[in-house]
Chains A and B, each alone.
Chain A
Amino acid sequence: MDSSSYLIELHHLSRRFGPVEALREVTLQLPPGRIGLLGPNGAGKSTLLKILMGLLPPTSGSGRVLNQPIGASTFGLEAAVQLRRLIGFMPEADALVPGMRGVDYVAFAGELYGLPRKHAQRRAHEVLTYLELEEARYRRVEEYSTGMKQRVKLAQALIHDPPLLLLDEPTSGLDPAGRDAMLRLLLELGRDHGKSMLLCTHLLADVETVCEQVVIVYQGQIRGQGSVRDLCARRHDRYRLQLQGDLAVYREELQLEGVKILHDNGQGDWRVQVPEGWVTRAFFALAENHQVIVRGLQRDDESLEEMFLRIIRKDSSA
């Protein structure tokens, strides 16, 4: 891939706050698309976002976002303005201006991005209608529900039609229905309208729903990067079994075949992890040999959360 066609390209980027190294030698090349940025609190996600928005210069290293350079030497006003015009940022905090009506708030954001006032007003109506806030647009933003606040924050990030959206915990505080609606909107924006997005979250399910690519940050370093599909393929296959009969021998036989018993409630309900290439028929074949009846069999794959923790733990112990 040509270097100019990357969405984000970072080379040995580090950022130090006194003795604390928030980012360490981060090297990253991400193509346009929907990207999830995962990591626990204090992993360095926020520092990375600040650097990508041109709000904070890196201590060392260089990079480009949408072909705009980021780095100490290019940290002038003009460079920062150019960069931030290409980015729509949805902060995690409420970031609302109390007393303003929804439509005025979004139009105001447009003017801050540099849109002419009339364009900003017209565009605010369009974006709010698209985000299904047309009926609430004349209400004051502080009267909005959490879901509406999240959508109006997304509206202000979309007002200038940026190619890249930086979304900081966009589903934070939402109920399940609101969360689904928000994720559907984000997916639609990315898939149908070609918006690239960097979804910064600790909710893996959000990344799984919306993103194609995922970057895992931990202790200021990139611990994993790849497509969500590949990451999911690294999941361990797991099953829930409900059994009846002489389970001691059956257990030994399964373990000899490489099956790990993760949980046993002592009443025949097991949770097992199977090796690669395992076929479910083997459960029944072994059971038949040992007079065990398989009363229930259900897939119970490792969740993304569990997998994420496993990857991090493995890296830490290494």
Chain B
Amino acid sequence: MPPPSQEMLLKYRPWRGSFHGPSRAVWAIARVALGQMVHRKMFWSMYGLSLMIFLFFFFGQYLMFWLDTQISSQTFSGGSLFRNVPTQGLITFLKRGAQLDGSAQTFGNFIWFEGFIVVIVLAFVGSVIVGNDFHYGSLPFFLSKPITRWHYVAGKCLAVALFVNLMTTLPAIVLWVQYGLIDDFEYFIDNFHLLLGILGYGLILTVTLSLLLLATATWLRRTVPMVMVWMALFVLSRSIGRGLVDGMRFDPRWRLIDLWNDMYLIGHWIWGTPHQQLRPLSQAQPEYWQAAVVVVALWACCVVYLHRRIQAVEVVS
């Protein structure tokens, strides 16, 4: 016979309390999805890599600034080849190459590199956070609750958004603040548009990647097809675009098939970078607005597809 305390536990106990609204469920869904994401070992190795990129930019900016302010008037010698070489020349060379100067190009490059890691992680975890809900029939679990399909979509998108911003927008803001602190307070005022640009570029990445992840994971469900499709979208389409425009001299609009480049263009549009100053300078690029049209069209396609695929009526089979 169980002891009295255990016997009480074994009895059904009613619950009386007040319910939260369905919007709270969005956070619960996002939290669980993030938990599923961080439980993958691959996530941590990629996170380590992204941290290395961040540290490269962080200390690179600091080093460039230090070189510029401390030893730009000096010369250096090295062996018999380099005698009294002016440091300013080296600094200018490094600045042009690395673009570690708190400019739009710095943040553009940083988000570009981090974005690739984000894409790799999402390609691998998409099946875990979304595909499994379809593959293992978990969707009825969500949709039988007092939430709509859009709460479900919002929850999953929020998880992706938190991850994307943790990897791109947040460290980019840290780099912006760092440069302001090592340079001058005036930097914050003069370059406030850069902060807005970082947030805008982050928003574009967030919306595009989260909708695309949900749509492709809903469609493909398993990891291997997901990875293949994402690699095709972000690597193969990029190679084809470059081959057509740079190699075969086709119209620059062919580069619009490169989704990653489209987001990069929108990012620079938000930063206000003149179109002719886009790097690399040798590459012909489509117009900013054309890239925006492609990305918005992709969003619309994803939303329509999700609307059709995530049906509450699937709850009862």
A residues contacting B by CB (< 8 A) are 46, 49-50, 53, 55-56, 77, 80-85, 89, 91-100, 104, 108-109, 111-117, 119, 123, 126, 129-130, 132, 134, 156, 158, 160-161, 168, 188-189, 192-193
Q: Are A111 and B136 in contact (CB under 8 A)?
A: no
Which residues on the A side are within 8 Å of B138 (C-beta)? 94-98
- Specify the chain B residue showing the minimal Cβ separation from A94: B137
Q: Are B141 and A109 in contact (CB under 8 A)?
A: yes
Which residues on the A side are within 8 Å of B29 (C-beta)? 112
- State whether A113 and B137 are in contact (beta carbons under 8 Å apart), knowing that A50-B315, A56-B313, A189-B12 are contacts in the complex: no
**Which one of A83, A98, A168 contacts B316 once the chains associate, using CB atoms below 8 Å?**
A168
Q: Indicate the size class of the contact surface on chain B.
A: 35 or more
Q: Are A84 and B11 in contact (CB under 8 A)?
A: no
Within 8 A of A (CB), among B8-31: 9-17, 19-22, 24-25, 28-29
- State whether A84 and B146 are in contact (beta carbons under 8 Å apart), knowing that A130-B12, A193-B12 are contacts in the complex: yes
Which residues on the A side are within 8 Å of B317 (C-beta)? 46, 91-93
Is B142 part of the binding interface, using a Cβ–Cβ cutoff of 8 Å?
Answer: yes
B217–chain A nearest beta-carbon distance, Å: 14
Is B145 part of the binding interface, using a Cβ–Cβ cutoff of 8 Å?
Answer: yes
Q: Are A91 and B140 in contact (CB under 8 A)?
A: yes
B residues contacting A by CB (< 8 A) are 9-17, 19-22, 24-25, 28-29, 32, 36, 39, 128, 132-133, 136-148, 312-313, 315-317
Q: Are A46 and B316 in contact (CB under 8 A)?
A: yes
Cα distance, A98 to B39, chains bound together (Å): 12
Which residues on the B side are within 8 Å of A80 (C-beta)? 146, 148
30 A–B contacts, CB within 8 A, in A order: A53-B315, A55-B144, A55-B313, A77-B22, A77-B148, A81-B22, A84-B145, A91-B141, A91-B144, A92-B317, A95-B140, A96-B141, A97-B141, A104-B32, A108-B28, A111-B24, A112-B146, A113-B145, A113-B146, A114-B24, A114-B25, A115-B17, A116-B20, A119-B17, A129-B10, A130-B9, A130-B12, A160-B15, A161-B16, A193-B12
Cα distance, A83 to B144, chains bound together (Å): 11
Which residues on the A side are within 8 Å of B145 (C-beta)? 84, 109, 112-113
Which residues on the A side are within 8 Å of B15 (C-beta)? 115, 119, 123, 160-161
Which residues on the A side are within 8 Å of B146 (C-beta)? 80-85, 112-114
Q: Are B137 and A95 in contact (CB under 8 A)?
A: yes
Q: Are A99 and B128 in contact (CB under 8 A)?
A: yes
Q: Are A112 and B315 in contact (CB under 8 A)?
A: no
- State whether A114 and B19 are in contact (beta carbons under 8 Å apart), knowing that A55-B315, A92-B317 are contacts in the complex: yes
Cα distance, A113 to B142, chains bound together (Å): 10
- State whether A112 and B137 are in contact (beta carbons under 8 Å apart), knowing that A55-B143, A77-B22, A80-B148 are contacts in the complex: no
- Specify the chain A residue showing the minimal Cβ separation from B132: A98
Which residues on the A side are within 8 Å of B312 (C-beta)? 55-56
A123–chain B nearest beta-carbon distance, Å: 6
Which residues on the B side are within 8 Å of A111 (C-beta)? 24-25, 28
Which residues on the A side are within 8 Å of B25 (C-beta)? 111-112, 114
Q: Are B133 and A85 in contact (CB under 8 A)?
A: no
- State whether A91 and B316 are in contact (beta carbons under 8 Å apart), knowing that A85-B19, A97-B141 are contacts in the complex: yes
Cα distance, A193 to B15, chains bound together (Å): 12
Q: Are A50 and B313 in contact (CB under 8 A)?
A: yes
Q: Which of A81, A112, A119 has the most CB of B within 10 A?
A: A112
Which residues on the A side are within 8 Å of B19 (C-beta)? 85, 113-115, 160
Q: Are B137 and A115 in contact (CB under 8 A)?
A: no
- Specify the chain B residue showing the minimal Cβ separation from A47: B316
Q: Are B11 and A112 in contact (CB under 8 A)?
A: no
Cα distance, A277 to B12, chains bound together (Å): 45
Q: Are A112 and B142 in contact (CB under 8 A)?
A: yes
B29–chain A nearest beta-carbon distance, Å: 8
Q: Are A53 and B144 in contact (CB under 8 A)?
A: yes
Cα distance, A83 to B146, chains bound together (Å): 8
Which residues on the A side are within 8 Å of B32 (C-beta)? 97, 100, 104, 108
Closest 6 CB pairs of A and B: A114-B19, A112-B145, A111-B28, A93-B137, A161-B15, A81-B146
Which residues on the B side are within 8 Å of A158 (C-beta)? 12
Which residues on the A side are within 8 Å of B313 (C-beta)? 50, 55-56
Can you add 9 more A-B contacts, CB < 8 Å, to A81-B146, A94-B137? Answer: A53-B144, A53-B315, A53-B316, A91-B141, A96-B138, A115-B15, A123-B15, A130-B13, A160-B19
Q: Are B141 and A95 in contact (CB under 8 A)?
A: yes
Cα distance, A158 to B13, chains bound together (Å): 10
Which residues on the B side are within 8 Å of A50 (C-beta)? 313, 315-316
Cα distance, A160 to B20, chains bound together (Å): 12
B293–chain A nearest beta-carbon distance, Å: 32
Which residues on the A side are within 8 Å of B132 (C-beta)? 97-98
Which residues on the A side are within 8 Å of B142 (C-beta)? 112
- Specify the chain B residue showing the minimal Cβ separation from A126: B13
Which residues on the B side are within 8 Å of A46 (C-beta)? 316-317
Cα distance, A188 to B11, chains bound together (Å): 10
Which residues on the B side are within 8 Å of A91 (C-beta)? 137, 140-141, 144, 315-317
- Specify the chain B residue showing the minimal Cβ separation from A105: B141
- Specify the chain B residue showing the minimal Cβ separation from A81: B146
